[in-house]
Amino acid sequence: MSQHGMKPVQEEIRDRLRVCVHDHREAMGKAAAADIHAAMKRLLAEKERIRIVFAAAPSQNECLAALVQSQGLDWSRVTAFHMDEYIGLPRSAPQRFGSFLSRSLFDRVSPGEVHLLDGMNDPEAECERYGRLIRESPIDMVVLGIGENGHIAFNDPPVADFADPLWVKQVKLDLDCRQQQVNDGCFANLEEVPKYALTLTIPALMSGAQLFCVVPGASKRAAVQRALYGEISEACPASILRQHPDCTLYVDRDSYGDIRNG
């Protein structure tokens, strides 16, 4: 149940996953941000520092914008990470996910520490470096989305592994994933989209104590339906969220489809 008084139009539980359906994506983003704010406030009252992983995608815009406007959070005690990055995209490229999060969040709230993946470094060395940082201490929160192909981070169906021994790895992006980057307006055409990326693995994401998954838009409807009602399998990586002990999925009417039982 959302803690901010903005009641969803529909709620359900799928296995262990809480699902909150909101009327439109702005209401969804504000609701998710309010719950994230409340969780951060509680954790900062209990711990000296907290560690949060953020997704970078247009689907997160409303949530991040509302989070920036939140008052009363001591961001200087937050260590921030992100979950994926293209390999070989120049550091000046606006499409880099680290750049997106810096513009949308980090530069505006000034976390005490920000650790960015660098896709211009040697991939193997970068996976090792970032994996060490992630594993230094438990991850308190993960703010993520779901891709059109059901991926979480860049764990596309062909490379997703629920029992991955790695925490950060190099992956080849599948065609649906690369096409989504064009659909989202991040690249002009498919040829511009890098073919390889670095990503936190599914075990790394699932290690977060609390997960907030924000998924608006009609283009995500098929993936949301598979994640909620299909088999839990790597064919739809997001389906694993149904097994997390504390994950909430925030959707709007467009991504959820027909309102059930309403």
Domain boundaries of the chain, sorted by first residue: 9-208+230-254
What confidence tier does 6 reach under pLDDT thresholds 50, 70, 90? confident
Q: What is the pLDDT of residue 91?
A: 87
Q: How many CA atoms lie within 13 A of 3 on its CB side?
A: 11
pLDDT cut 90: percent of the chain above it: 93
Question: Other CB atoms closer than 10 Å to residue 189's CB: what's the count?
Answer: 7
Average pLDDT over the chain reads: 95
End-to-end CA distance of the chain: 17
What confidence tier does 145 reach under pLDDT thresholds 50, 70, 90? very high
pLDDT higher than threshold 90 for residue 45: yes
Q: What is the pLDDT of residue 3?
A: 45
Average pLDDT over residues 84-108: 95
pLDDT cut 70: percent of the chain above it: 97
Instruction: Report which of residues 44 and 5 the model is more confident about.
Output: 44
Q: How many CA atoms lie within 13 A of 157 on its CB side?
A: 15
pLDDT higher than threshold 70 for residue 2: no
Average pLDDT over residues 30-43: 98
Average pLDDT over residues 66-83: 97
Choose the CATH number for 9-208+230-254 among 3.40.1260.10, 2.60.120.10, 3.10.180.10, 3.40.50.1360. Answer: 3.40.50.1360
Q: Are 97 and 84 in contact (CB under 8 A)?
A: yes
pLDDT higher than threshold 70 for residue 144: yes
pLDDT higher than threshold 60 for residue 215: yes
Average pLDDT over residues 214-223: 97
What confidence tier does 260 reach under pLDDT thresholds 50, 70, 90? low
Residue type at 71 in one-letter notation: Q
For the stretch 147-190, pLDDT in tens is: 999 999 999 999 999 999 999 999 999 999 999 999 989 999 99
- 79: β partners: 51, 113
Q: What is the pLDDT of residue 261?
A: 40
Q: Are 36 and 67 in contact (CB under 8 A)?
A: yes
